[in-house]
Amino acid sequence: MHPHGTHSRFLAEFAADVRAGLCREGQKELPSRYLYDEIGSALFEVICVLPEYGLARAGERLLRRHAVDLLDRIARPTLVVELGSGSGKKTRWLLEVLAACQPTTYYPIEISPAALARCARELGDIPALRLVGLEKEYLDGLREVAARRQPAEHLLVLFLGSTIGNFDRTAGVQFLRDVRQLMLPGDSLLLATDLEKPVEQLLLAYDDPLGVTAAFNRNLLGRINRELGADFNLRRFRHAATYRTAERRIEMHLVSEVAQRVHIPAAGVRVEFRAGETIWTESSHKYNLEEVVAMAQQTGFVCVEQWVDHEWPFAQNLLRAV
């Protein structure tokens, strides 16, 4: 649970973001980070095992196959920091190998206390692993870990699940620059990127026949109802996934089926929707391998290695701070 003061601040920020996103001119938007409350996080775990959504399994396969090789290429002793750990299930493959070689401290950084609790349950049985969860934004958490490091310690920062794809490309490059500023030369960043693939395959992955992704997306409106007192009727919104060829990204939207007005008391607004109007809730940009190497060079890293899954085109990219 959030401490009371922290929770009050979170709700105020949530309300401000909802107000700004739904009252803006043109395309209505909501930040994708709010998709992951306790219900959203649980639904996302289900998405990760759907046959249509190969991304999570590809990332996990690469970590399982290449953990030893990867850890041979980083400086020791190592502190492990994960930006957006989720349940931590995929990270086990790395942590077990590293903790077998040295006592290891692992800092999962999450804004979701439910995710941190799941992470502690998932990884708490690994011998020689000390887990210190930080309920913070990515950069704030990384800043805190960087301040705690001992002079001889090196950071291994994990940014898995292709979360970099949720940023616009320019913002993604800036985020990598911001991460690099909190690292020292010789530190490592393991960056996961989903690669370009046929559009039909992508659309199925983000709009599965079972409707789990649709439930995950609509839960964002349910969360606004629960936490901000809104009166969204979830049956009046449908999930839609579209691919933007020029931007090479999937977009998730919630489409208003009818003209309607929604009251959000905690945000102090009433929002009008036209029939067919959408709320843009998430982007997922797709990359190619050369582009990732170039991003590394632009942001103060060198790309040391790229491991690629060919069953579901996906890459784990090991970057070293220079």
Whole-angstrom distance, CA of residue 15 vs CA of residue 168:
23
pLDDT score for 86: 86
Nearest CA-CA partner of 253 in 238, 265, 268:
238
Q: Which residues of 191-205 are buried (b: 16+ CB within 10 A; e: fewer)?
A: bbbbbeeeeeebebb
Structure tokens at 164: 């970099």
Domain 55-197+287-321 in CATH 3.40.50.150? yes
Domain boundaries, the chain: 4-30+200-285, 55-197+287-321
pLDDT score for 220: 98
Q: Give the model confidence (pLDDT) of 30-54 as tens digits.
A: 999 999 998 998 899 899 999 999 9
Residues 6+ apart with CB under 8 A from 226: none
Q: Give the model confidence (pLDDT) of 188-212 as tens digits.
A: 999 999 999 999 999 999 999 999 9
More confident of the two residues 118 and 291:
291
pLDDT score for 2: 53
What does the mean pLDDT of the chain come to? 95
Give the C-alpha distances (Å, rounded to integers) separating 112 from 5, 47, 188: 16, 18, 25
Structure confidence at residue 7 as a pLDDT band (50, 70, 90): confident
pLDDT at residue 216 is higher than 80: yes
pTM (2 decimals)?
0.94
Residues 6+ apart with CB under 8 A from 263: 230, 231, 269, 270
Q: What single string gives the DSSP state of each residue in 90-111?
A: GGHHHHHHHHHHS-EEEEEEES
pLDDT score for 4: 56
pLDDT score for 3: 52
Mean pLDDT (whole number) for 240-252 = 98
Which position has the token pair 């996961």?
Answer: 192
Mean pLDDT (whole number) for 2-25 = 87
Say how many C-beta atoms besides its own lie within 10 A of residue 235's C-beta: 8
